[in-house]
Amino acid sequence: MSRFAGKRALVLGVANKRSIAWAIAKRLADEGAELAFTFQGERIESSVRNLAGTVGSKLVTACDVRSDEDVARVFQEVGEVWDGGLDLLVHSVAFAAAEDLEGRFTDTPRDRFWMAVDISAYSLVATARAAEPLLAARGGGSIVTMTYLGGERAVPHYNVMGVAKATLDASVKYLAWDLGEKSIRVNAVSAGPVRTLAARSIAGFTEMERMFEERAPLRRHIDAGDVATAAAYLLSDEAKNVTGTTLYVDAGYHAMGM
């Protein structure tokens, strides 16, 4: 299957081979897409560049999503590499201070509250705005971001990240409205617990996994590949009339009351 032959995709949020963003990127590449990547900080640069090299990426560049100037530079580079056009944007960016993912949400200080919202939610707005002219130049396109049930319900220890995901969820809907007239679709995948390095920073993650397996209707865990399958659908032309939507990939857990 080559659903993405001739398509150009920018992927934000790869950190290592276990990242959900990498699973999505690999699926897109396997189905014919050309890829570009961003990375945050020197610490993970070599890892991202090595992974990007395995799929023949044409561009790997640093991006601080809290800087409008940096975001603008990234999309200028993308435009230069791909003649002013882009088809797909994968946004898998989120961050909160480790100390705010344990203890009480009430104790979150103001500066770290806004940091989490800025990086985890406003970054979607900023990158969608910068991507808009490139997507429009190709006749439209698709944007997918990663969310979680903690934005809809209180999940112990998810704390300020849940608030950031709630902001992200609302942003998906408003972006879908704004960009829809240019045939640009915006959707989210809400995944169950996936064993990424980032997830391990959440206090009680092991307990979260145990409860998930007990209470999800399908009684099983999901993995990054399951998320990639769903994201690829939303990014593909098969979902040409799907926008402003959250697709749950959680073995049915979100449907349960307890």
Name the residues annotated as catalytic. Answer: 148, 158
SS3 for 191? Answer: strand
Neighbours of 143 (CB within 10 A): 27
Q: Which of 36, 23, 24 is nearest to 134 (CA)?
A: 36
Residue 155 backbone zone (phi > 0: left; psi -120 to 50: alpha; other: beta): beta
Cα→Cα distances 246→11, 136, 224, 240, 250, Å: 19, 23, 17, 15, 12
String of DSSP letters for 124-167? HHHHHHHHHHHHHHTT-EEEEEEE-GGGTS--TTTHHHHHHHHH
**Number of residues in the chain:** 258
Q: What is residue 42's DSSP assignment?
A: G
